[in-house]
Every structure is written in C-alpha cells, then in structure tokens.
Chains A and B, each alone.
Chain A
Amino acid sequence: MNIPGHTAVPPARSGRWRGGEGPWAWWCAMAVALSLLMLGALLVLLMSRGLANFWPASVHQLTLADGSQVIGVPVETRQRPEDAGSERRYFTANRDASGGIWRWVNVEDIRQDSAPEDLVHIKRMRWSDFLGRLVAVNIDGRRFDGELAWQRLEERLDEIRQQRQLRRELEATQIIPLIRRLESSNGPESNHDPGSNSDDVRIHQQLAELQQQARDLQSGMTGAVLILETAEGRRLEQPLEEVDTVLRPNAMSAWQKVGRWSSGVWQYLSEGPRAANTAGGVWPAIFGTVLMVILMSILVTPFGVLAAVYLNEVAHQGRLTRLVRIGVRNLAGVPSIVYGVFGLGVFVYGIGGQLDEWFFAETLPSPTFGTGGLLWASLTLALLTLPVVIVATEEGLARIPMHQREGALALGATHLEMLTRVVLPMAMPAMLTGVILAVARAAGEVAPLMLVGVAKLAPQVPLDGEFPWLHLERKFMHLGYHIYDAAFHSSDVQAALPLIYATALLLVLVILVLNLTAIFLRHYLRTRHGAFARQ
C-alpha cells in the first residue's frame, strides 16, 4: 500500500543486518542496475561507433625508428603481454600499393608523429581507400599543381558526380526495362531468331541508342588522372572516374568536418553498397526492410483482427475456444526459425512450385515463385506475427465493458452493427498497438528470412517503373541480414566493422521508435479505458 508518509518509517531492527533488509535485497537492486547498465552500454557502444564512422578522422604521418614512413589513421592501441610495451593498429589503406590495409606499429618505435595538412584521404570505388599526398592533377593532357590542382580537382569531381548520377538513372529507368522486355519476348519456348520480329528490331535499335548514350556519359567522365604519392614515395596514377570523394582531413575546420559528417551519413542512407557490402550505403536494405514490413502488416492486420473478433465476439466461449486461445498464445513463443521452415516448405516449395508449373512453365527449371522472394517473406512474417496481433486485439476487445455491447443491442442494432460501430472503434488503439508490436518484431527478425527470400545483394529494388511495378517474386535486401552477411561472410571483418555498427544502430533505432510508439499507444489506451471503467 502506498500511503504517503508511511514509507519513511524505519524498518524493524532485528537480525544480523540490524535494521536492514540483508545482502539479498542489495543484490536484487544490483540486478536491475546491471540490466540497465548493460542496455545503456550496448546503446552507447552502437551510437559512438556507428556515428563516429562518418567523422573524417585526422591522418597521421609517422617516422619509425628504422627511418621508414607510415601514413595512416590510428584505430586501436593494445597492450602486449608481459609488459612488452604496446602496439597500435593503423588504417593505412592503399591495397593496390601495399597489398594490405592495416599495419601494426610498435608505439616505442615511433620517432615522430605529425599530422601535416597536405595529406589526402581518397575514397575510391576499387582497391579500398587511398592515404597519402596529392602531387598533381592531369586533366585532358594539362597538368595542374598545388592549390590550382585542388580547385580543378573539385570542379571536375562535381561534374563526374552529376554524370554518374545521369548514367545511373538512364540505366535504371530505360536500359534495364528494355533488356527485360527483350528477355521476356525471347523466352526459351519461342525459338525464333532475334530480329525477325519488327517489335524486336525496334527495341534493339532503341537499346543500341541508349547504350551509346551511356557510353558517351562514361567516356565524358574519363580524361582526368590524379597523380598520388604514398608514404614510401611511390607514385600512383588514379583515374578520377573511380574516385568517390577526396578529403584533406587535417586541413578541415570543425565546421567542415561536421558538414562532411552529415553528407557522409546522407550518402550512407541513400546509396547502394559497394565492395561486397563492406562499404557504401544501405539504401536498398532500408527499402527492402520497409517494403517487406509494410506488405506484412497489410497481410497480418485483417486476418489477425478477424481471428480475434471471431475468438472473442462470435465463437461460443467453451472449452474448445479456450484451448484454441492458449494454442494461439503459445504460437507466439514458437521459435521464428520454425516459421521460416514452414514458409520454405509450404509457401516456396509448395505453393510457389505449383504457381510456377501453372503460370511460368516457360521459364522452368529456373524458378519464378518457386524460390524465396518478397511475397513469401512477407507471408511468413505475417504468420509469425499473427499471434501478436490476435493477442493484442483480443486484450483490447476484452477490455471493452459488456454494457457497451448490451446498450447497442438494446437499441436495436444487429450483431454486425454493434461490432462495426461500437466495439471495433473502441478496440482501435489495441489493434494499432498489436500491429506496431508485430511490425517491431518483424523488422528485427532475420532467421526466417534467410530461408524464404532475403538476398546478400539485390541490385534492383522490388519496386520500379516497370509493370506490374511491385515485383513480389524478387529477392530483396534486409538491414538485419546485411549485418549478418557483412559480419560473417566478408573477407576483412575489420574493414567492414564500422559499417556494421552503423547498420546495427539504424536497425535498433527503427525498432526502438516502433516499440516506443506501441508503449505510448498502450499507455493512452489504458488511461482511456480506465476512464470507461469508472463511468
């Protein structure tokens, strides 16, 4: 009982822990504190590592005891066993010049450690990043040195970026749909030679024109070459069209760094992955996750509500209904991988295989619906989250006072009218809570998706301008699977680690926001129905 003023009364004085509750009470308090600490530590770790990744870190130039030079970004320092000093790991990049991108340096061996302003950090499409110095820029045969080189370089890089964007749009919106159309008209069944059909000829011509355009854009990007120098003094030539960004982190002011950081975050959110998912952005994964979750909630809401209404309002409340209710509740505790197995066996191999035989026989044996895809993944997750929606909706329905129903019926409403005009509107927040909880669960679920349709790399998002716009049979990328894949199937985990942190942070943020919404909604619901009960 929480009577004001009662709680401050000193407790009974007896036993060894005079006047206290004994050590166990403190250990119990520690359990709560420890749980909160672990949660907080996890969030802080994800936040700091995930966001720090985009900060342009300063580049150091070291002179070692043997006179050699190293240029790199310090990553971590480790104590060596038995007091043998410590060593520091530097990110030295330049895979094309030195073979690796990491270097361990003995801290005691460092004679000089400076951060000259002329060091550059170049993010490239291939061979990982470059760290070193910019000597000159060669644009269309003319050579620029010094500050002029920087100006020209940045102008040229902007042009290239625009052209790259144009080319990407050209490919996505025109060339690929044309190729698709060609493929579909030249299926293995229709074995006429290409070009005999007038429609085909037209498409081929169009395609050739477009590809010429793309090639023109591509060749417009070439012509500029960076001349670079590594720490060891080796000269490299780097074609500018394979460069993403060029930075001088040591010369940047704090504001410039903030600007660079935010544009880095934006690039990460809006671009596709590069270098086998260890660099670049996660836009396709965000898109795939969101689309899959939306489809899932469209599928799960009507069915979940229907089942809940049946169980609570229509079914005879006997022993069987009670058993079914317990069964449904328990299905929420069945491991998600089991749902994945069910989805693979029934949806993909069963229904999907059958659909292929009926409608896509011409493309067999390569499956259309008989392999994992967006539709099957959404269906599987809908099944997985169905118990969540049913339980939440049922709870909402059970909270509605009986006299509301009786009042509606007494005024002459039929059962259906009572349901649609009185009961369901009142249960709306409960349904919403259920759906949001379902979405939160589905967004974080990865194991079943591995069986029914997630892909390591899906170059095309399942939604585009080509009929029927939404491609339910395509595979898709997913944030959670992106984490798993980058963490366990990449050749250099250390290089991928910063991006994994960022992706994990993104996923956690999405799920936290969804859960917080559900919690607030439920709170609102409880207070509102508390008011109902008092009336």
Chain B
Amino acid sequence: MPDTPTSDFSAQSPLHSHRYRQRRDRLARALITAGGIGVLLAVLAIGVFLAVEVLPLFLPFSSTAPELELSALWQAQPYADGLEYRWLPYRLDEGEAAYVSLVPLAWGTLEAAAWALVLAVPLALGAAIHSSLYMSRPLRARIKPTLELMEAMPGVVLGFIAGLVLGPWVEQHLAIALTTVLLLPLGVIVLAGVRRCLPSSWRLVLSLRWASMWLIPWLIVLVWLAHWLAPLLEGWWFGGDLRLWVETQLGWDVEARNALILGLAMGFAVMPGIYALAEEALVDVPRDLSDGAQAMGATRWQTLTRVVLPVAWPGIFSAVMIGAGRAVGETMIVLMASGNTALMNGNPLDGLRSLAASIAIELPEAGPGGTHYRLLLLAALALFLFTFLVNTLAELVRTRLRRRFRMLRSDS
C-alpha cells in the first residue's frame, strides 16, 4: 500500500493514482475472495461438523459407546415379551440396557411428512393450476403474495393452534370434521351445477376467473351445514358416536394431538412453498403449446391434462420434493401438535414423535460427547443429508426443465 492513502486520488499524479487504484483493487478483490470463500466454507461446514461428531459411534474401538451395539439402532430388540423398536435413551444415561432404536423416530418423521403432503399437495397443485390457468390477472397478482404470507406464519403459532385449539376440538367433534371434509368438494360441485342454470348475467358475475373469491362465503356456509348434518350422518352410519365406533370397530386410539391434526398444521405450512414452485413450473411452459391445443378446440382443462402437465411434471415433482424436505425438518409444529410419543403404528388418530422434535427436547439435556448426544447428532445428520439430497435433486430437475423450456422456445 502507498504511504499516503487518501480517498481523493484525483489530486495526485495520474500515474501514481493509477497504480494506487490498481493495487487497492487487487487487494479488495483478494479480500472479497477470501471473505466469500470463508463464508461459503462456514456455511458448508455444517455437514462436516455433524459427520465428524457422529463418526466415533461407528469406530470399532472408540471409548464413547462401549455399551452400544450398532445394530440396536435399526433392529428390533427384546423388550417385555417380544421384539420391539423402542426409543428410551434416558436409560443410557442411567447405565441400563439401552433401547435406542431410531426406527420409531424415523417412522414418526415420515408419517408426519406423509400426512402433511397428503393434505398440502392437492391444495397446492389445485391452487397452482387454478391460478396459472383460470384466475384473472389482477387477482393473481394479489393472491401470490397473500399465499407467501401464509408461508411466513411461524411454526410455533401453527403448532399452538393445532395442538391446543384444533386438536381438542376435533377430538370432541370428530363427526363434524369428517362431514366437513366430505361436504366441501360435494358442495362446490353442487354450486357449480346451480350456476349453470342461472341467467348469463349472473354467470358473468360468478365467473370461474373470480371463483376463488366468491367460493369463500359458500365454503363458510358449507362448514356451517356440516355442523348441522354431522349428527344425522353419525346416527346413520356410526351408531350415534363416531369416536366410539373408531375405537371399537377399527381399534384405534383417538388422541387430541394426533397425526392428522399435525398433518393439517404442517400441510398449512408446507402448501405455499409447493404452490409457488408448481405455479412457476406451470407458467413457464411455453405458451405456444397451450395456445396450439386450445386453437384445436380443447378446453383449458383438456389442455392442462394432455399438454401442459406432461411437459411441466418434473417441475411439479421437484416442488413436491422440496415440500417434503420442509415437512421432514419442521420442528415446532411436530413438537406442539403430535404428543411426542414414540409409537409405531399406522393409526392417523394417534400420536407420534419425530427426529427433529427428539433433538429439540433431548439435546439440551444430553451431555456433550456422550452416546446420547452423538445419537441425536446422528439424527440431525440424517435430517441434513435427507433434505440436502432431496433439495439438490429437485434443483437439478428444475434446472434441466428450464433448459428444456428454453430450447422449446428457441425452436419455435
């Protein structure tokens, strides 16, 4: 560096200032490079840290886990009478025989994610199709940021509503919840049928382009109707008490904090992300294709199913995968809405415990360097790898799809 660094370099001789500026530029570039690489390395260090910390579990002669057999992590162990998968890590701290099977936690994680996707994917794809195909432009410009706001809802609030408000309510009013789910699609079709018999001036007001707005009051009416219909339905089919019927006929426990409620809350959290990516994939499809199909007399729905979807499905697939990644790692909703019991059954009305929730609950109490600590880090590593791989795959699919669209556009 020159010994007279002034900010006003124009006052100095042109040659000197030029050299000074060149040097400063080189220095700054070196600093930016170093800093940038440093930050990137720090971000990417997460995986390395987890792998290094977990490694002692798998080394044959390590001192950290003398009492632990690795097969206990994924194989059923003798428990009470029979072989079972159990997650009872606190026995480890007390020096007793360990039951540290990660299987029930992984099962809980996947079950929760699966229910979330079952609820979120139809909603998100339906919304994406409607807003890319039918919705009026000004409305679409408003709806997209609104759904983005939905994504920003903090998990702890969703978990609270699901676990403390919705869960107990649904437990009490199982029949109403079931009737609502059945009634909504039916009611919407009925309304669509009624609309066709209306005079055309009415039909113009109640257009499909604005359907997402004027359907809302009708949905509220339907929910109210469900309140009224539920006791009738319960009386006809389930002998007057749906909950009793579920418990006796299906042999399922009904818990207030169950996988379905959890799936609803998590579906709410995951849906906007899937929607945004799926909509992007649908809109990105070159217009020539769909215009061509419509010119041949296809309806918009036929265009969608025969032309647009076959082209755009990798994009939609990657949207769903990214949603799955988010659902697998969601912590607060699972923690608050699932009951956190490490069960392994397919009953959607029972509780579960996920990997992420286990980490959040147990890690502060597990001593650093101990076996329990490393097991939880192994769970974190599993989450990290899963989400990272799923996201990378989705990203690759999307990049390839985009390239294909670009080629399609340049062909025409």
Contact = CB atoms under 8 A, between A and B. Distances in A.
Contact of B21 (A8, A22, A39, A417): A417
Contact of A512 (B147, B152, B159, B331): B152
Interface stretch (A257-265, A334-342, A397-405): A334-342
Interface in B318-372: 322, 325-326, 328-332, 335-336, 356, 359-360, 363-364, 368
B123 A31 contact: yes
Contacts of A330: 387-388, 391-392, 395
Contact of A447 (B148, B191, B332): B332
B189 A26 contact: yes
A341 B387 contact: no
Given A12-B297, A32-B212, A42 B21 contact: no
Contact of A26 (B36, B143, B192): B192
Most buried by A among B24, B32, B196, B376: B32
Interface stretch (A106-114, A207-215, A290-298, A503-511): A503-511
Most buried by B among A415, A416, A451, A507: A416
A438 interface: no
Contacts, number: 316
Interface string B43-57: 111100110010000
Given A334-B46, A508-B154, A451 B134 contact: no
A480 B154 CA distance: 8
A329 B322 CA distance: 12
Contacts of B165: 45
Interface in B120-173: 122-127, 129-131, 133-135, 137, 143, 145-150, 152-157, 159-161, 163-165
Interface stretch (A93-101, A227-235, A305-313): A305-313
Interface in A27-82: 27-40, 42, 45-46, 81
Contacts of B275: 35
Interface stretch (B82-90, B213-221, B401-409): B213-221
Contact of A451 (B40, B325, B363): B363
Contacts of B163: 487
Interface residues of B, number: 110
Contacts of A2: 137
Contacts of A387: 43
Contact of A334 (B159, B360, B384): B384
A381 to B, nearest CB: 13
A190 B64 CA distance: 37
B331 A27 contact: no
A483 B192 CA distance: 42
User: Interface size bucket, A side?
Assistant: 35 or more
Interface stretch (A195-203, A320-328, A358-366): A320-328
B178 interface: no
A167 B287 CA distance: 72
B185 A339 contact: no
Nearest to A22: B301
Contacts of A386: 39, 43
A19 to B, nearest CB: 8
A519 interface: yes
A33 B216 contact: yes
A338 B46 contact: yes
A314 interface: yes
Interface of A: 1-2, 7-8, 11-12, 14-15, 19-40, 42, 45-46, 81, 303-304, 306-307, 309-311, 313-315, 324, 326-331, 333-342, 344-346, 349, 383, 386-387, 414-417, 440-441, 443-447, 450-451, 480-481, 483-484, 487-488, 493, 497, 500, 504, 507-508, 511-512, 515-516, 519
Complex A-B, nearest 9 residue pairs according to Cβ-Cβ distance, in ascending order: A335-B329, A310-B36, A31-B126, A444-B154, A32-B212, A29-B211, A447-B331, A414-B25, A33-B215
Given A27-B188, A29-B126, 20 more contacts: A11-B300, A26-B189, A26-B192, A28-B133, A29-B208, A32-B135, A33-B215, A307-B35, A326-B396, A327-B44, A330-B388, A334-B383, A334-B391, A337-B380, A337-B383, A447-B356, A480-B156, A480-B157, A507-B156, A515-B149
